Amino acid sequence: MKFKIGLILLFFSFKILAQQQSQAKFNYKATYQLDYQEDSTDENSLKSETVVLYLGDGRSRYSSLGQAMKDSLENKPNPEVVRMDQYNQMTDFKYTIFKDYQNRELVLAEKIFQYSFKYKQDLNQIDWEIQSETKEILGFKVQKATGAFAGRNYIAWFAPELPFSDGPYKFSGLPGLILEISDLQNQYHFSLTIFQELDKPVSRILNLDDYKVVSQKELDQVRNDYNRDPIGAMQKAGIRFGWSEEDEAKQRKELTKKYKRRNNPIELQ
pLDDT tens-digit map of 12-40:
454 444 444 445 689 999 999 999 999 99
Amino acid at 63: S
Identify the pLDDT of residue 77. 59
Residue closest to 189 by CA, chosen among 162, 158, 168: 168
Cα→Cα distances 109→25, 159, 262, Å: 18, 28, 21
Which of 111-125, 126-140, 197-211, 237-251 has the largest mean confidence?
Answer: 126-140
Cα→Cα distances 199→28, 73, 83, 127, 146, Å: 9, 21, 31, 35, 34
| Higher-scoring residue by pLDDT: 87, 240 | 240
Cα→Cα distances 218→47, 70, 170, 214, Å: 27, 24, 18, 6
Identify the pLDDT of residue 196. 97
Amino acid at 90: M
Identify the pLDDT of residue 50. 97
Identify the pLDDT of residue 30. 98
> 131, 143 in Cβ contact below 8 A?
yes
Identify the pLDDT of residue 130. 98
pLDDT exceeding 70 applies to what percent of the chain? 85
Express each pLDDT in 96-147 by its tens digit: 999 999 999 999 999 998 899 999 999 988 999 999 999 999 999 999 999 9
**Interval 180-197 mean pLDDT:** 98
What is the chain's mean pLDDT, rounded?
86
Identify the pLDDT of residue 89. 55
| pLDDT confidence bin for 11, thresholds 50/70/90 | very low
| Higher-scoring residue by pLDDT: 59, 5 | 59
Identify the pLDDT of residue 166. 98
Determine how β-strand 115-122 pairs with β-strand 212-213: parallel
pLDDT of residue 179 exceeding 90, the answer is: yes
Residue closest to 55 by CA, chosen among 170, 163, 190: 163
Identify the pLDDT of residue 20. 45
Identify the pLDDT of residue 80. 52
| pLDDT confidence bin for 71, thresholds 50/70/90 | confident
pTM of the model: 0.84
| Higher-scoring residue by pLDDT: 232, 85 | 232
